[in-house]
Amino acid sequence: MSGPYLIRGSVSLPEAELMWRFSRSSGPGGQHVNTSDSQVELRFDLARTEALPPVWKERALQRLAGRLVDGVLSVRASEHRSQWRNRESAAVRLAALLAEACAPPPKPRRPTRIPRGINERRLREKKQRSDTKRGRSGRDWG
């Protein structure tokens, strides 16, 4: 494993709070597939963790409410053939999910007006284009 997984700033996932479960992956494989537990399920108890600041925790609980089961966030990885790479993949995915869920809400957009000059220029160009196209019709070629 490549050390602690940073969420944002200096906040990282504590290794002690991560619960790992391994099982056999589905899908095609060779002789080795029936004997190795390469699928990884990583669980993180978001409701009971003390690793996140309270504000972040509230935000994450709200935003991930649909994915939580009894306050526990679960991520599954089975795209690689080795358990180690699946562990890496699951941990990175969990950290990214938490980072996105803990992010502050975006600043509200301040409505701005289009300057009059720009709008007039746009309308003038539309009129020119319209005249150009109207001039192409062969109505008065007689």
* Local confidence pLDDT in tens for the 142 residues of the chain: 456 777 777 777 888 888 888 888 776 666 666 667 788 999 998 888 888 888 888 988 888 888 888 988 999 998 888 888 999 999 999 988 988 888 888 999 999 999 999 999 999 999 999 999 998 887 765 5
Record the pTM: 0.68
Length of the chain as a residue count:
142
Residues whose CB falls within 8 Å of the CB of residue 41, separated by 6 or more in sequence, listed in order:
20, 21, 22, 23, 74, 75, 76, 90
pLDDT at site 129: 96
**Alpha-carbon distances of 117 from 1, 21, 61, 120, 121, rounded to whole Å:** 59, 64, 48, 5, 6
d(CA 11, CA 18): 15
27: left (phi over 0), alpha (psi -120 to 50) or beta: left
